[in-house]
Chain A
Amino acid sequence: MADRQTYIQPPRILKEAMRRLFLLLFPVVGLLVACSTTQSSAVINLSQLEPLPVEVPTEVTPLRVAVAAIISPKDTLDSYKPLIEYIGERLDRPVELVQRRTYAEINDLIKSGEVDLAFVCTSAYVIGAREFGMELIAAPQVRGETVYYSYLIVPADSPVESMADLRGQVFAFTDPLSNTGRLYPTSLVQQLGETPDLFFGRTFYTYSHDDAIRAVANGVADGAAVDSLVYEHAMERDPDLVQKTRIIHRSPAFGIPPVVISPHLRPQHAAELQSLLLEMANDRAGQAALDAVGFDKFVSINDDAYDSVRVLERAVTPES
């Protein structure tokens, strides 16, 4: 019985090729596996929660400075940052900027002493001085004046010429306590023998004057009353925005929004701050900080500069 060949030999070259292929595949596969792993190796356990570290109060208590919501919080931060930093450097003490949505909240902080120094609106000072002894230590001087006005503005292409024309329209107030932003325009309406809720078609609060300007510029509101300082500052910074609006009325002069201190502030600190502010214009850094907020300098001011606002306030029944 002859031997029968039970298989066919594959060609030698094929065997060699297969062997080489296997040898090549292993490192390639290994590389692929390695590359697919991510960079971070530590596993975070999302279901295991630990209490957050409690903030350790700093050894040195910072000086807390509040700025009322006259302009939007971002713009406030940008404008007042150099001033804040200057004060901190001069006092060699950390300084914190505090902002809140409404004037009333700032007043509360001043009242409780949680805030030491504040830049408040005129009417907020009037109320605060009356209610809990908010103290005046200085006032900014802008373009040579320590007064400011309320501008009644409408969209540039609006036919409105006076408050009377705004009957049934949409009106934007700024803050409930604002002098220029609510008290004054309300007095205008009252002079027409009306009340704002019945006179206007719709009213709303923007909580900052530059947002009120934006509302009118965009046509969201048919009219608003804004702080003249803010309006003029906006004209420099964003002329396109301002050009979309038109001033139809200017109020009588009011005392400029002052710099106040909390009744809880110690007299030495108060005096220190006052002299710091009043001398600020004298050095280069101080001048730069003043330029950032758009002030010439700080000056002393008398409380009776704000009597006209007191009159206005008394005349206008405040919305509660």
Chain B
Amino acid sequence: MFAVVRELEGSAQLLVHAIRRIGVLLLPPVAEELVRQVYFTGASATGGIMLRGAFIGTLIIAYVIEVLNADASLAVRLLLLVVLREVGPLIAAVLVIQRSGTAVATELALREISGEIANLRRMRIDPRDYLVVPRVVGMAVSNAALTLHVQLIAVGGGMVLASLIINVPFEALLTHFFLLASPLDLVYSLIKSLLFGAAIAVVACYHGLNPRGRSINAVPQAAIRAVTEALLLVMLLNVVFAYLVYGVAFLGLVTAEQ
């Protein structure tokens, strides 16, 4: 338990460092690392979530209309509430943990064990500047973009598929969507997904840069710990976020009663 707290504290210190040193992204080698990270975390992950997103949207609409016997308005309302605010950011975060969290932790642990991190120090390059800052920014931005992608696919694809599968006109769903959708939902999920992405990145970087031992066995261990803690942290942040937003923040603008 204390180890987890210490590791989360180390991750928080990396986040503070990344925020303080964000200016290093202007240096060409660091900017290249950022581009690579955005490509691997964001661009190359989009294909895998298209079907999943569309199926989730369809499932929500079909469940509400067919099983709960409710109307299209409630189905779209639930779709927006669940997908835009909660499931969208969570699906993207889980995907980023599964793909990039493991990759970053493994890569950095290998670099540490093989002496590449020490080589960076010898070149007077702070490994946190060169490796952590672009990964934190890249994963935060990519996670936000992936979240938007999931939301578009889940809501749009869900409405299209639902209109084909069950007896509900697409026009009705679309009309309710434009009536009920609020830009605030997107702002809420954008902030949340940026935070999720940054949290996943710092946890993965922390475990990658601090493998337990110098043997090759330390590499998968770093990846496992990174995935476990990143999942824990994302769930924790989600709970805190939900409490703050539905409870006390945003002056009551975003509530479940909307």
Are A and B physically bound partners?
Answer: no
